Chain A
Amino acid sequence: MTEAGIVIVGAGEAGARAALELRECGWTGSITLIGKESRAPYERPPLSKSALVEESEPSPAFILDETKLDRLRIQLITDSKVSEIDRNGRNVLMEDGCRIPYHRLLLTTGASPRKLALEGSDTSGVLGLRSFGDALAIRSRLLPGKHIVVIGGGFIGLEVAASAREKGCEVTIVEVGPRILMRGVPLPIAEVVEARHRSAGVEFKLGIGLAKIELEGDRYAIILADGTVVRCDTIIAGIGAIPETSLAAACGLDIDNGIVVNDKLTTSDPHIYAAGDCCSFPHALYDGQRIRLEAWRNAQDQGIVAARNMAGASESYAAVPWFWSDQYDLTLQVAGLPDRAATMVRRESPDGGFQVYFHLAEDGRIVAASGIGRGGLAKEIRVAEMLIEREARPDPASLMNPEVKLKTLLAL
């Protein structure tokens, strides 16, 4: 029987960062990190971008390698599935029958790509993207001249589409909604993204659903709801992700669009924490409303806060939501939650390199900023993030005027 230490289920960004932070903040007990993939924890953002287009065979960007694992005494168990959490005995039961006792347990189980389901169609060949293995499978299909259909006009789909165009594929994006990027991105920015894809030669089928997928030899015929047929070599679905909550639900933890945690990232069992894509948490900046994020930085920062709290701290997680997307030569960044705003004002950089929208609540509070372009965009969004954090009410005229340095608004 080993001494009960900290057990982390899920070896993605949140889990790996938590393991690192536990040592950083002085936890000396054992750390066991359990992952279902065969690889050590690696970063996922490149999977839809450089891993697909790089000339040379890509290798994962590891967060933890063997040297680090050894030095920090982190036990990594790969290719492994947890079958059950025994909350009374504080044990994690593995599929191979092993029992691992825990003092504190962290669930960083992430999310899984939603699978395309279409009555009467065999969708088993439809590819999704989450793991490095998925990226390799997609990469092998992105050959010049091949026709790729991407189902879903969200970030994963659009980034894969941009990568496929870069590789010389023909690309069609099918989106059932009236426009791309319906979630969390204002219309004018979605329009810039769509225009950039169109100018790169991507074809869009917007506002139209799928009726059927038929196999034609080694190709597919996709029949759309209006009867249009799109023939292609590969179908890639980017239609959202579902939080991995099955283990948590099976042991009776509260679930509400993810594993329910409080602001300290504790679940309904005080010995169990959750972080990253799998959990929903109350956000102080948005009236304590429960949100769930699927974003790299959130996974990293929540992993870190959960680690500190498991080691005895009592930190609240209240970071401003933030993400970015790279497509072609464009970067898109969003800080905060634009859909919580009543109005927005626009700022364009003097050289026209980027535009930023500031999203304001009815009371004038800045609740989000979103932008697209090149160059100095990141600086503007970063300062906006600090304004959001401070619940500032900046003067809209100053926000719109590119001559006014945003930094000066922080001092007010």
Chain B
Amino acid sequence: MSQGWIEVCEVGEIDEEDVIRFDHGAVSLAVYRSDKDKYYATDGFCTHERVHLSDGLVMGSVIECPKHNGRFDYTTGAAKKTPACEALKTYPVQIEAGKVYVQID
């Protein structure tokens, strides 16, 4: 893997249609595996309050905040339901040799 790509986990360590937390230095991410077996990554904390999205439920392409039920499309970061109104930052993800990598700038 070229520079800037960080190993997150083995593929399969994230259940289908689920999310895990991944911390790297000062950055905390939520890394998703979609119901279509694709991987995505966003900022870990909800843009509404400091609640980690990896504790929330993934439904299709949507992650729901476990506290206040704000919703985001984790494939684009777009806010979908109040009280979330500010988009989530997303990060590029790649799969190589059975491992999930994320690019943190």
Q: Do A and B come from one complex?
A: yes
Residue of B nearest to A21 (CB): B82
Chain A residues with Cβ under 8 A from B43's Cβ?
Answer: none
Residues of B within 8 A of A300 (CB): 82-83
**In the assembled complex, B57 has its CB within 8 A of some CB on chain A:** yes
> B10-44 CB contact bits vs A (8 Å, 1 = yes)?
00000101000000000000000000000000000
Nearest CB of A to B51, in Å: 9
Classify the interface of chain B: helix, strand, loop or mixed.
loop
Interface size, chain B (Cβ < 8 Å): 13
How far is A271 from B40 in the complex, measured between Cα atoms in Å?
Answer: 48
Establish whether residues A375 and B67, one from each chain, have CB atoms under 8 Å apart when the complex forms: no
In the complex the two chains form, is A378's CB within 8 Å of B57's CB? yes
Given contacts A324-B67, A378-B66, A382-B64, is CB(A61)–CB(B57) below 8 Å? Answer: no
> Chain B's nearest CB lies how many Å from the CB of A42?
12
B55→A375 contact, CB < 8 A: yes
Partner of A379, one of B57, B67, B68, B83: B57
On whether the beta carbons of A17 and B82 are closer than 8 Å, the reply is yes
- Which of B56, B64, B66 has the largest number of chain A CB atoms within 10 A? B66
Chain B neighbourhood of A260, CB < 8 A: none
Q: How far in angstroms is the closest Cβ of chain A from B86?
A: 13
Do B56 and A407 touch (CB < 8 A)? no
Within 8 A of B (CB), among A329-370: none
Task: Tell me if A297 is interfacial: C-beta within 8 Å of chain B.
Answer: yes
CB-nearest residue of chain B relative to A375? B55
Q: What residue of chain B has the Cβ atom nearest to residue A333's Cβ?
A: B66
A382 lies within 8 A of B57 (CB): yes
A382 / chain B contacts, CB cutoff of 8 Å: 56-57, 64, 66
* Residue A20 lies at the interface, judged by CB distance under 8 Å to chain B: yes
8 Å CB contacts to B: which residues of A367-387? 375-379, 382-383
Rounded to whole angstroms, the CA-CA distance of A383 and B83 in the bound complex is 20
Q: What chain A residues lie within 8 Å of B66 (beta carbons)?
A: 378-379, 382
Q: Which residues does chain A contribute within 8 Å of B55, judged by CB atoms? A: 375-379
| Least distance between A257 CB and chain B CB atoms (Å) | 26
Cβ–Cβ contact B82 & A20, under 8 A: yes
Please, which residues of chain B bring their CB within 8 A of the CB of A297?
Answer: 68-69
Asked whether, in the complex, the Cβ of A379 is within 8 Å of the Cβ of B56, the reply is yes
A62 nearest CB across to chain B (Å): 11
Chain B residues near A407: list those with CB within 8 A.
Answer: 17
- A43–B70 Cα distance when bound, in Å, is 14
Bound together, the chains give a CA A300 to CA B55 distance in angstroms of 22
Cα distance, A377 to B56, chains bound together (Å): 9
Instruction: Give the CA-CA distance A61 to B51 in the complex, in Å.
Output: 15
Shortest beta-carbon distance, B28 to chain A, in Å?
Answer: 15
Among B15, B49, B67, point to the contact of A378 (Cβ < 8 A): B67
Residues in chain A near residue B15, CB distance under 8 A: 405
B59-85 vs A, Cβ < 8 Å mask (1 yes, 0 no): 000001011110000000000001100
Q: How far apart are the CA atoms of A354 and B11 in the complex, in Å?
A: 26
- Please give, as numbers and ranges, the residues of chain B lying within 8 Å of A46 by CB-CB distance: 49
Of residues 34 through 59 on chain A, the ones whose CB sits less than 8 Å from some CB of chain B are 43, 46
Complex CA–CA separation, A245 to B68 (angstroms) = 27
Who on chain B is nearest to A377 by CB? B55
Report the Cα distance A407→B15, complex, angstroms. 12
Complex Cα–Cα for A213 and B7 (A): 62
A376 / chain B contacts, CB cutoff of 8 Å: 55
A375 contacts across to B, CB distance below 8 A: 55
B17 contacts A378, C-beta separation under 8 Å: no
A22 nearest CB across to chain B (Å): 13
Given contacts A324-B67, A376-B55, A379-B57, 11 further A-B contacts (CB under 8 A): A17-B82, A20-B82, A61-B49, A297-B69, A300-B82, A300-B83, A378-B55, A378-B57, A382-B64, A382-B66, A405-B15
* Chain B residues in the interface with A (C-beta under 8 A): 15, 17, 49, 55-57, 64, 66-69, 82-83
The interface of chain A, by Cβ under 8 A from chain B, is 17, 20, 43, 46, 61, 63, 296-297, 300, 304, 324, 375-379, 382-383, 405, 407
Q: Please, could you name 19 A-B residue pairs with CB atoms under 8 Å apart, sorted by A?
A: A17-B82, A20-B82, A43-B83, A46-B49, A63-B83, A300-B83, A324-B67, A377-B55, A378-B55, A378-B56, A378-B57, A378-B67, A379-B55, A379-B56, A379-B57, A379-B66, A382-B64, A383-B57, A405-B15
